[in-house]
Amino acid sequence: MENRSESLKTERNEAWRSDLRKNIKAKDRTSLIRAKMNEVDANVRIKSYVEVNSGLTVEQAQQEAARCIDCANPTCINGCPVEINIPKFVKRIEQGEFLEAARVLKETSTLPAVCGRVCPQEKQCEANCFYTQKLKKEPVAIGYLERFAADYERESGQMSVPETATSNNIKIGVIGSGPAGLTFAGEMAKKGYSITVFEALHEIGGVLKYGIPEFRLPNDIVDVEIDNLRKMGVQFETNFVVGKTVSFDDLKEEGYKAFFAGSGAGLPRFMGIPGENYIGIQSSNEYLTRINLMHAAEQDTDTPVVSGKNVMVIGGGNTAMDSVRTAKRLGADRAMIVYRRGMDEMPARKEEIHHAIEEGVEFITLANPIEYFADEKGRVNKVKIQKMELGEPDASGRRRPVAIEGSEYLIEVSTVVVSVGVSPNPLIPDSLPELTTTKWGTIEVNEDTLQSSINTVFAGGDIVRGGATVILAMGDGRRAAQSMDNFLKKNEQ
């Protein structure tokens, strides 16, 4: 920690930064208004999968960067799970050195263009910004700026590929190509390891590809990052289920010295209420996979999707928002969210809720489905909803929803998407009986080193945390790379 604050201080005192600080008075900086993200109009965007946010212009970005007062004690960094040097990259933007800004981001974040788009900044860096904390004003738009710098670099065609150390020929296997696996792969490649990423699906990217829709995170952006990893020498094997296609023992025989499991929390949960297996009721994973991974909405693909005129999505997280907004785009007249708590308790990013409202999504809060009904062909046509009220706070600190007896009523539906959470993928634990797991089925690891009960297996991301976030998965990938490197070096001696 000492080291970090020392180096932050030294960097802050570099001439370019102190000069920049002197250019504009702090008071003038704080009277600037926060930039508004440019976006495609709601009525236009729901007719296609165009990305909703179109980014900041150069002027907007520099102006927004000028709001940052380059604090001596930058609290924003404490809110960032990977501790991006926020003032440094923001000041590079103010200075007009956008490629430099991108370089700063990449010192700590492997996928800045992704994080700029999907991180819950309002709960992380921006929540800890001096503006939010002390001035009670809107925070510096750190997320928008992160996206700006990363996009600028990508579009400039001058994307820098991180340098890699000379190869040490030590083979490491990565299980899963979500943000945890990709980050781990990049960090280890930099250190000179030979990395192969195994992915069960036919596409690389994990949730970034099959879950988060194009209108929020275009696939191209993820692909550029994957290409960069390829340029760094990372190998990818798709259609490869570790534990099924080959066992760990086989991989060890093939020379793999250690593994990182980033296999995610891919298993959809259902509620177990009557009628839940009727036709037209699907998990958000199925619904989104059909659209995002299999491109079911495009005319010339073979995968079908059922999405009717009355679509009800159960849940209040990002996955629920992605599903309901997808339903709108597939032509639903009525796209509804049913959530058992209130608007304020929804775990989704604020921006997504805001966008969903703009797009005409109906929110039915303090409500819970308790039974489904179907026509003679088994197609769901009605849902029985029970009203809820908020009771005492539960273990998570959120007020527990309590059912109101006798409040049931019916809503007509043609499609239901169940988005009530995911469970850890059991493939890896099942194929490694010696691996210690928690009662929730997540892999148990040492909190600092991310090493599991098998000393050559490290793990991170959703398979350790349960359904969490992209940035936490990335942070785990980085940390695991560092500690696996330490571990392997120590073992060599």
Ligand X SMILES: Cc1cc2nc3c(=O)[nH]c(=O)nc-3n(C[C@H](O)[C@H](O)[C@H](O)COP(=O)(O)OP(=O)(O)OC[C@H]3O[C@@H](n4cnc5c(N)ncnc54)[C@H](O)[C@@H]3O)c2cc1C
Dist. CA 313–CA 122, nearest whole Å: 24
Min CB(196)–ligand X separation in Å: 11
Dist. CA 54–CA 37, nearest whole Å: 7
Min CB(256)–another protein separation in Å: 14
User: Token digits for 10?
Assistant: 């030294």
For position 371 contacting another protein by CB under 8 A, the verdict is no
Instruction: Tell me whether residue 306 or residue 468 sits nearer to another protein (CB atom).
Output: 306
Binding stretches for ligand X (CB under 6 A)? 118-119, 175-181, 198-201, 206-207, 211-212, 240-243, 262-264, 266, 288, 318-319, 322, 349, 425, 427-428, 461-463, 468-471, 473
Can you tell me which residue has the tokens 């239901």? 416
Give backbone dihedrals phi and psi of 242, rounded to 5 degrees, phi first. -65, 135
Instruction: Tell me whether residue 35 or residue 427 sits nearer to ligand X (CB atom).
Output: 427
Near another protein by CB under 8 A: residue from 295, 309, 398, 399: 295
Instruction: Tell me whether residue 69 or residue 296 sits nearer to ligand SF4 (CB atom).
Output: 69
Instruction: Tell me whether residue 387 or residue 478 sits nearer to ligand X (CB atom).
Output: 478
Identity of residue 350: K
CA distances from 256 to 195, 251, 265, 351 (A): 9, 6, 24, 43
Q: What, of ligand SF4, another protein, ligand X, none, does residue 76 touch, CB below 5 to 8 Å by kind?
A: ligand SF4
Q: What, of another protein, ligand SF4, ligand X, none, does residue 86 touch, CB below 5 to 8 Å by kind?
A: ligand SF4
Instruction: Tell me whether residue 127 or residue 267 sits nearer to another protein (CB atom).
Output: 267
Dist. CA 361–CA 353, nearest whole Å: 9
Min CB(275)–another protein separation in Å: 10
Near another protein by CB under 8 A: residue from 11, 270, 373, 403: 270
Give backbone dihedrals phi and psi of 96, rounded to 5 degrees, phi first. 90, 5
For position 470 contacting ligand SF4 by CB under 6 A, the verdict is no
Q: Could you tell me if residue 94 is left (phi over 0), alpha (psi between -120 and 50 degrees) or otherwise beta?
A: alpha
Site string for ligand SF4, 116-145 (x = CB under 6 A): -------------xxx--------x-x---
For position 247 contacting another protein by CB under 8 A, the verdict is yes
Residue 347: CB atoms within 10 Å: 20
CA distances from 359 to 213, 215, 306, 331, 455 (A): 15, 12, 21, 12, 49
Min CB(156)–ligand SF4 separation in Å: 24
Which of these segments, 10-18, 50-58, 68-76, 285-293, binds ligand SF4 (CB under 6 A)? 68-76
For position 426 contacting another protein by CB under 8 A, the verdict is yes
Near ligand SF4 by CB under 6 A: residue from 12, 51, 61, 74: 74
Min CB(117)–ligand X separation in Å: 8
For position 86 contacting ligand SF4 by CB under 6 A, the verdict is yes
Near ligand SF4 by CB under 6 A: residue from 87, 143, 181, 460: 87
Task: Give the interface size with another protein as a residue count (CB under 8 A).
Answer: 43
Q: What, of another protein, ligand SF4, ligand X, none, does residue 118 touch, CB below 5 to 8 Å by kind?
A: ligand X
Interface residues toward ligand SF4, by CB under 6 A: 68-71, 74-76, 86-87, 90, 129-131, 140, 142
Interface residues toward another protein, by CB under 8 A: 200-202, 210, 238-241, 244-247, 266-268, 270, 272, 276-280, 282-283, 285-286, 289-290, 294-295, 298, 300-304, 306, 377-379, 425-427
